[in-house]
Amino acid sequence: MNIIVTGGAGFLGSHICERLLTEGHDVVCMDNYLTGKDQNIKHLCPNPKFTAVKTDVSKHIEYEGDVDFILHFASPASPKDYLKYPIQTLKVGALGTHNTLGLAKAKNAGFLLASTSEVYGDPLVHPQPETYWGNVNPIGPRGVYDEAKRYAEAMTMAYHRAHNVDTRIVRIFNTYGPRMGVSDGRVVPAFLCQALRNKPLTVYGDGKQTRSFCYVSDLVDGIVRLMKSSEHEPVNIGNPREMTVLQFAQAIKKAVGADVPIIHEPLPIDDPKVRQPDITKARRILKWEPKVTLEEGLEKTIPYFKEVLACEC
Ligand code: UDP
């Protein structure tokens, strides 16, 4: 297939491009490099089946060739990034989704939207099944991301219902692995870099809030299965092993072998108190579940962070 991946130079986008290339597809990566990085796709560039185009999908997209499938992954995705780029985040979720759906319609291509567990906001139902509508503060600082993705889901379903575009929606829960932005502020790079630099781990609030962490290869596998399925309604993909941020800090200390203290900093506004995917639907429809344990995933991730930190010195 000829496949376009928007946000292809980002953390998840670059792993998706890599996986699609190994399956023999022709892949076009579109990225404006607001948060994506050249470095993430450098190793793919020698492949004749890979093309990188610098473009902002929030503006009109021109593309001449045939397209069979579009995966729309472009967006700032860490709380630090979307707080820094609130307007761009809203635009890529709204205008970027509209433009990429328009391209899918014009090319008669399939379409997959990268949505997020943030559509559930600070959830009142736990764990979160796809049928839960969420508890989002539209005017809070995180609202720019949450509402952009909720709008993107609504637009995707509208193109499916009104224009019969062959769409998919994946709701991605916390994911980690090599090529995460080392300073994107998320808890995995933050704790790993702190531990590797022998600095205290900064736990926000009392650290009793929970998250569930999925290794990137598991996530990509789930997404590829969803692409190949005929499910049009949202599907959660994530690892259901839930832990508190404090427990996660301990796991990082152990994995890195760093005897560093934990310090507490203020909890960001609207930081969800709990998060755990209900993956019953993914298990049933996609025959998917995560395979990589947190311990194995961290073992695969730590060398990447060591290398990047070594280059910075
Ligand atoms: N967090 C933390 N210390 C940090 C960075 C994040 O305690 O240095 C917490 C954050 O408050 C949240 C959790 O870790 O409760 C996950 O944060 P992240 O930014 O990775 O993503 P989120 O799941 O909130 O989208």
**pLDDT surpasses 70 at 227:** yes
- Residue 313's contacts (CB-CB under 8 Å, 6 or more residues apart) are none
**pLDDT surpasses 70 at 313:** no
Three-state DSSP at 282 gives: helix
> Does residue 145 have an active-site annotation?
yes
**pLDDT surpasses 90 at 165:** yes
User: Cβ distance 32 to 9 under 8 Å?
Assistant: no
What's the rounded Cα separation, in Å, for the pair 246 and 117?
21
Mutate to test the pocket of ligand 1, among 75, 199, 204 (most ligand atoms within 8 A of CB): 204
Residues having CB within 6 Å of any atom of ligand 1: 78-79, 174, 185-187, 190, 202-204, 209, 211, 245, 267-268, 271
Residue nearest atom 18 in ligand 1 by C-alpha distance: 186
Tokens 């152990």 identify what position?
Answer: 254
What is the tens place of the pLDDT at every residue in 175-203?
999 999 999 999 999 999 999 999 999 99
What is the tens place of the pLDDT at every residue in 71-121?
999 999 999 999 999 999 999 999 999 999 999 999 999 999 999 999 999
Can you tell me which atom of ligand 1 is nearest the CA of 191? 8
> How much of the chain exceeds pLDDT 90, in percent?
98
What is the tens place of the pLDDT at every residue in 147-162?
999 999 999 999 999 9
Predicted pLDDT at 311 = 85
Tokens 């906001």 identify what position?
Answer: 121
Go through 141-177 and write b for each residue having 16 or more CB atoms within 10 A of its CB, e for each that does not. ebbbbbbbbbebbebbbebbeeeebebbbbbbbbbbb
> How much of the chain exceeds pLDDT 70, in percent?
100
The highest-level CATH class for domain 177-211+241-276+292-312 is alpha beta
Which residue among the candidates 82, 85, 120, 145 is catalytic per the annotation? Answer: 145
Q: Which of 164, 181, 175, 250 is nearest to 217 (CA)?
A: 175
Mutate to test the pocket of ligand 1, among 186, 214, 253 (most ligand atoms within 8 A of CB): 186
Predicted pLDDT at 312 = 75
CA of 79 to the centre of ligand 1 (A): 8
Q: Average the pLDDT over 19-32 and give the result.
A: 98
Q: Does domain 2-175+216-237 have CATH number 3.40.50.720?
A: yes
CA of 278 to the centre of ligand 1 (A): 20
Q: How many C-beta neighbours within 10 Å does residue 33 have?
A: 13
Q: Rounded to two decimals, what is the model's pTM?
A: 0.98
Tokens 């860490």 identify what position?
Answer: 78
What is the tens place of the pLDDT at every residue in 249-286?
999 999 999 999 999 999 999 999 999 999 999 999 99
**pLDDT surpasses 70 at 131:** yes
Sequence-ordered alpha helix ranges (H) in the chain: 11-22, 38-41, 79-84, 86-91, 97-107, 143-163, 187-196, 216-228, 245-256, 280-281, 294-312
What is the tens place of the pLDDT at every residue in 232-241?
999 999 999 9
Give residue 211's pLDDT band: very low, low, confident or very high (50, 70, 90). Answer: very high
Domain regions of the chain by residue span: 2-175+216-237, 177-211+241-276+292-312
Q: Report the length, in residues, of the chain.
A: 313
